[in-house]
Amino acid sequence: MHGHGHGQPAVGGTVLSFEDLAEQLGADRQGALGDDDRALVDEQLAIVEHQWRQAVTRGLVRGFLLSGPPGVGKTTAAKRLAYELGRRFPRHAGRDGVATVLLDGSEVARAKYGESEQRIRGIFAAAAEGFGLAAQRTVLIFDDVESIFLARGSDQAKEWHYSQDSVFFHVVDGLDTSRVVLVLTTNRRDLIDEAIRDRFLEYPVGYPPAAALLELANRSLADQGLDPAARAAFAAELRPAIADGSVRSLRDAQHAAARFYVARLAGRRAPAVAT
């Protein structure tokens, strides 16, 4: 766990400052995904900004559920929203500002019986208190949330999931939407309880278009100092891999670019896209 200074919650997770987010996202990568990606974050931003500025304490929207396949940028979109909120609600004279808490679902779920309920309560209580700064607002990101909240009807559902769920619903229903927002991510929508889906606005995040995958790969190779000719050679290898579906996600495209890069430096002519 890390973070900068103020109010570390004793609840696990990673506290990200505005500066941490800026560093992780990198200003130059903004919009790499094109308009769809930006539209999603912009819409969420408009909602949260309204609720926060107008002091809507019982807002209609408590948060968002980003669902979609692995590696398409769900966690990154959640961080982007947090970053944009941080820009709009900066810290003044040690007050205000936005804390972002990133919780790994599987880590919360691994807690012993009773502990995860305690942690969920603790996280929301700390958020309500601004993580030690009275006016600080909070973005709570529950990453890979399916591992915390397995569908109650599923085989994996155990009694203690009921109890985790009911604690979660209780704190979510009491959420002060004028200062806290939740973002849940999952690539197992089928495991998410309907009651969770009812409480959050769902945004499906799909595989990006070929152009976005090519652009991402090109950028990352440019970042590594590969010249335009090498990048064009890679694009020529990547296009058919995208067409046949072996490269679909942003992560696939990054991995393919990394393999190509390594092969280049090693003087090999290894396939950019391993099968």
Ligand X SMILES: Nc1ncnc2c1ncn2[C@@H]1O[C@H](COP(=O)(O)OP(=O)(O)OP(=O)(O)O)[C@@H](O)[C@H]1O
SS percent in the chain: helix, strand, coil, step 5? 50, 15, 35
Q: How far is the CB of 144 from Mg ion (least distance, A)?
A: 6
Q: Which of 216, 217, 226, 247 binds ligand X (CB under 6 A)?
A: 216
Give me the amino acid identity at 258. A
Give which of Mg ion, ligand X, none residue 254 binds (C-beta under 5 to 8 Å, depending on kind): ligand X
Site string for Mg ion, 67-86 (x = CB under 5 A): --------x-----------
- Dist CA 260 CA 267 (whole Å): 10
Please give the radius of gyration of the chain, using alpha carbons only, rounded to the nearest integer: 20
- Is 250 one of the binding residues for ligand X (CB under 6 A)? yes
Q: How far is the CB of 157 from Mg ion (least distance, A)?
A: 23
Nearer to Mg ion, 72 or 226 (CB): 72
Give which of Mg ion, ligand X, none residue 188 binds (C-beta under 5 to 8 Å, depending on kind): none
On whether the CB atoms of residues 131 and 7 are closer than 8 A, the answer is: yes
- Is 119 one of the binding residues for ligand X (CB under 6 A)? no
Tell me the two tokens of residue 24.
């992780």
Over the range 117-127, which residues count as b (16 or more CB within 10 Å of their CB) and which as e?
bebbebbbebb
* Total binding residues toward ligand X, as defined by CB under 6 A: 17
Give the residue from 186, 255, 182, 187 showing the smallest Cα distance to 217. 255
- Is 248 one of the binding residues for ligand X (CB under 6 A)? no
Give which of Mg ion, ligand X, none residue 8 binds (C-beta under 5 to 8 Å, depending on kind): none
Q: Which spans of this chain sit near ligand X (rule: CB under 6 A)?
A: 29, 32-33, 37, 70-76, 185, 187, 216, 250-251, 254
